[in-house]
């Protein structure tokens, strides 16, 4: 049995390692493009980000893709890498609330969902093949 008196919540680096592990399992057709996207892990989304999205409760945002989807990119677009943001505290909160999934699986799900936006998929497109939330 695990000694919960010594257990600590995973930190930012551990959440990042879980997402990187998910990236490492991608099929070759997606891996190169996924490697171009910067991964950032923070405890919560910045207030400006939440305000832009119209989100009041920071626990409602577990991840975010920030960039121009590949299906819309042009050589005229300004430089700078696309970014996938993962938010540790909302992810941990979701994990606790669900209680039926491994934390690594949840982190992988959030990462892959945001990566799908990089490939140009809408939330509706993702929902067709990803029945995670059912």
- Mean pLDDT, range 2-25, rounded to an integer: 90
Residue 16 to residue 127: CA distance in whole angstroms = 24
Is 82:117 a contact under the CB 8 Å cutoff?
Answer: no
Higher per-residue pLDDT: 95 or 128: 95
C-alpha 111: how far from chain center: 3
Average pLDDT over the chain, rounded to an integer: 88
Beta partners for residue 38, in sequence order: 83
Residue 33 to residue 37: CA distance in whole angstroms = 7
Q: Tell me, which fold does domain 12-67+80-127 have in CATH?
A: Zincin-like (3.30.2010)
Is 94:105 a contact under the CB 8 Å cutoff?
Answer: no
Q: Where are the domains of the chain?
A: 12-67+80-127
Looking at residue 121, its pLDDT comes to 80
Indicate yes or no: pTM above 0.75. yes
- The predicted-structure confidence for 56-114, as pLDDT tens digits, reads as follows 999 999 999 999 888 887 766 677 789 999 999 999 999 999 999 999 999 999 998 89
């Amino acid at each position: 049995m695990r000694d919960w008196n010594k257990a600590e919540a995973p930190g930012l680096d551990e959440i990042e390692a879980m997402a990187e592990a998910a990236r490492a399992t991608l099929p070759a057709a997606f891996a190169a493009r996924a490697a171009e996207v910067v991964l950032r892990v923070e405890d919560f989304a910045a207030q400006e980000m939440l305000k832009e999205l119209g989100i009041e409760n920071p626990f409602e945002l577990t991840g975010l893709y920030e960039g121009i989807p590949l299906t819309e990119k042009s050589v005229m677009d300004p430089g700078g890498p696309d970014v996938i943001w993962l938010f540790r505290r909302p992810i941990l909160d979701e994990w606790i609330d669900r209680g039926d999934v491994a934390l690594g699986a949840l982190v992988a799900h959030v990462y892959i969902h945001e990566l799908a936006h990089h490939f140009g998929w809408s939330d509706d497109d993702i929902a067709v093949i990803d029945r995670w939330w059912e």
